[in-house]
Amino acid sequence: MITVLILVAAVGILIWGFIRARPDGKLGIFAWLQSVVLMLPWLIFFGLFTFGIYLNIAWVLVAVMVSTAIYIYLGRQLRTLAKAAPEGQAQAKDPITVSQNEPLPTVDVVVEPADLEAGGESPTSPKTESDESGAPDESGAPEATAPPQTPPAIPAEDLTAIESIFGVDTFFRTETVPYQAGVFFKGNLRGEAETTINALNAQLKNQFEDDRYRLFLINGPEDRPAIIALPSKTDPKPADIRQKGLAVALAIATFITSLETGALLKDFDLFEQPGRWPEVLPTALAIFAILAIHEIGHRWQAKRYNIKLSPPFALPAWQLGSFGALTRFESVLPNRTVLFDIAFAGPAASGLLSLAMLLVGLGLSHPGSLYQLPVDFFQESVLVGTLARTILGDTLQNNDLIDVDPLVLMGWLGLVITALNVMPAGRIDGGRIVQAIYGRKIAGRATAVTLILLIFVALANPLALYWGALILFLQRGEERPCLDDISEPDDTRAALALLILFLMLATLLPLSPALAGRLGIG
């Protein structure tokens, strides 16, 4: 039943993507087809598996290679169409020029919509300017005004200088609202989002001859573009010596829990028999290798975009060795594409390494392998169970205990750790991916749904309770807005986001006993 629900959800996502792509014509359809070919091999594999049809792993690999080739071909066609398309169609994915109804991110970190919508103009705010045409707001919504509060934190002469950079060809300012450490500008965006905000920030830097202030292009409380001006002193701060010390301490604790995880797999307690630590050292090193490649993925993309990251704060876990690591951004992100690339690279790297370990381990497994697992253990994951049934065949049906190579367990642990970090919640990798693709509003709702689901899962598995508590108390909020927090990443990245979320579900969700029995697992 769970496998069927995953397939139905995946098909539903593809249908939803097609509906969103249709208004963009050929460009949208080709981008949607990229999503289809990326997910199709896995949909076919799991769909046939549900009905008891098993594909040889070689055919699965061939299907993945063919889909990759088609994906590359469609990408080339998409670029050709984009070059040949009229300018208006080429910019169809710009949420400003096409769809004012599509929900866009709000900056509730700095500007609370509830406060802006409270009504009552602030006596300290400058007089509102009307639009060029004098026409009312096209949305028909009442103008957002500032709540009564203290004068602007930005000095009056600086505020005047900031206002002077706006113009009719970039951002036509209609109202200035003092708020907290900065200023909120309502108005009308007159150009492409990324180009406009980059040009305005460059003008701002020239105006003050330093990086005293930053402008953030966000979606205001009325789902219309707005700009926030903030002092650069509000930028993320680098880790201090205490935080670096904490990162080292957590890394040591994670190494110890990784050793204990290896001991549990060998059915003994390391703290009672510490002399046996060499037996479990390979397990700890494998877990650390997965964590390291995950972190290298993040930092590879961060270096590409010149973004600074904090030291990784490893999260020790008794059963898994580690929940992964938390990493803060120590730089302001330019746009949501950068947010996606950095967030996606980590789980993509660790997921590929873990999957390779699992597949090689299954291929090396034979009677007499080092570890023995109860056959029911393979029912705990749709992805692992289907791959094991495909590679090990009838071995899963004719035996109560399955001999497996150590790489199977290492790969499985790595997939679970990676999948937990891809859950769409807060500021963990999955939450950042969802925020980058779908915006802050959707990311906030996804966090709430994920935490509720973790509460229910915790009734059967305490591990979910620990992970949910970590997210709730440490990472539940959305990521800080980007300088251009409106422009969406391209459809290739949207397809990759859907794929990694799909594989996360396939890793964490179990096979139902009835389906597992029908498939010959247990």
pLDDT in tens, 445-469: 889 888 888 888 877 777 888 888 8
Q: Are residues 267 and 156 in the same domain?
A: no
Instruction: Assess if residue 13 is contained within a domain.
Output: yes
Q: Are residues 409 and 279 in the same domain?
A: yes
As a whole number of Å, the CA-based R_g of the chain is 26
Q: Are strands 313-317 and 225-231 parallel, antiparallel or unpaired?
A: unpaired
Q: Which residues, in sequence order, are CB contacts of 250 under 8 Å at separation 6+? A: 313, 314, 315, 316
pLDDT, tens digit, 9 for 90 and up, residues 128-138: 333 333 333 33
| Domain end call among 217, 234, 251 | 234
Residue 267 falls in which region: left (phi positive, over 0), alpha (psi -120 to 50) or beta: left
If you average pLDDT over every residue of the chain, what do you get?
78
Instruction: Assess if residue 273 is contained within a domain.
Output: yes
Cα torsion 38, 39, 45, 46 to 10°: value is 160
Predicted confidence band of residue 190 (pLDDT cuts 50, 70, 90): confident
| Cα dist from 165 to 127, 215, 226, 319, 493, whole Å | 17, 11, 15, 56, 33
Q: Identify the CA nearest to 7 among candidates 55, 59, 48.
A: 48
Compute how many other C-beta atoms are within 10 angstroms of the C-beta atom of residue 194.
19
Residues 217, 428: Cα–Cα separation, whole Å: 23
| Domain end call among 234, 249, 268 | 234
Q: Which residues, in sequence order, are CB contacts of 473 under 8 Å at separation 6+? A: none
Q: Are residues 404 and 435 in the same domain?
A: yes
Taking the alpha carbons of 93, 94, 96, 98 in that order, is the dihedral positive or negative?
Answer: negative
Q: Are residues 265 and 123 in the same domain?
A: no
pLDDT, tens digit, 9 for 90 and up, residues 79-130: 777 666 554 444 434 333 333 333 333 344 333 333 333 333 333 333 333 3
Q: Are residues 511 and 398 in the same domain?
A: yes
Predicted confidence band of residue 325 (pLDDT cuts 50, 70, 90): very high
Q: Are residues 245 and 307 in the same domain?
A: yes
Average pLDDT over residues 44-54: 64
Instruction: Assess if residue 440 is contained within a domain.
Output: yes
Instruction: Assess if residue 104 is contained within a domain.
Output: no
Instruction: Assess if residue 103 is contained within a domain.
Output: no
Compute how many other C-beta atoms are within 10 angstroms of the C-beta atom of residue 205.
14
Q: Are residues 286 and 430 in the same domain?
A: yes
**What global pTM score does this model have?**
0.72
Compute how many other C-beta atoms are within 10 angstroms of the C-beta atom of residue 266.
14
Q: Are residues 24 and 154 in the same domain?
A: no
pLDDT, tens digit, 9 for 90 and up, residues 362-390: 999 888 888 888 888 888 888 898 888 88
Q: Are residues 384 and 322 in the same domain?
A: yes
Is residue 417 within 8 A of residue 290, CB to CB? The reply is yes
Instruction: Assess if residue 101 is contained within a domain.
Output: no
Least confident among 64-68, 104-108, 254-258, 341-345: 104-108
Q: Helices (H), strands (E): how many in the chain?
A: 18, 8
Residues 276, 512: Cα–Cα separation, whole Å: 37
Q: Which residues, in sequence order, are CB contacts of 66 under 8 Å at separation 6+? A: 41
Q: Are residues 414 and 461 in the same domain?
A: yes
| Domain end call among 234, 264, 295 | 234
Compute how many other C-beta atoms are within 10 angstroms of the C-beta atom of residue 309.
19
Domain that holds residue 15: 2-90
| pLDDT value at residue 350 | 95
Instruction: Assess if residue 95 is contained within a domain.
Output: no
- pLDDT > 70 fraction of the chain, expressed in percent and rounded: 77
pLDDT, tens digit, 9 for 90 and up, residues 383-424: 898 888 888 888 888 778 888 999 999 999 999 999 999 999
Predicted confidence band of residue 433 (pLDDT cuts 50, 70, 90): very high
Compute how many other C-beta atoms are within 10 angstroms of the C-beta atom of residue 455.
13
Instruction: Assess if residue 107 is contained within a domain.
Output: no
Is residue 272 within 8 A of residue 339, CB to CB? The reply is no
Number of domains, the chain:
3
Q: Which two tokens stand for residue 380?
A: 């705990």
Q: Are residues 208 and 278 in the same domain?
A: no
Is residue 228 within 8 A of residue 182, CB to CB? The reply is yes
Q: Are residues 391 and 513 in the same domain?
A: yes
Give 19: exposed, middle or buried? Use CB within 10 Å, 0-12, 13-18, 19+: exposed
Is pLDDT above 90 for 290? Answer: yes
Q: Identify the CA nearest to 103 among candidates 488, 499, 476.
A: 488
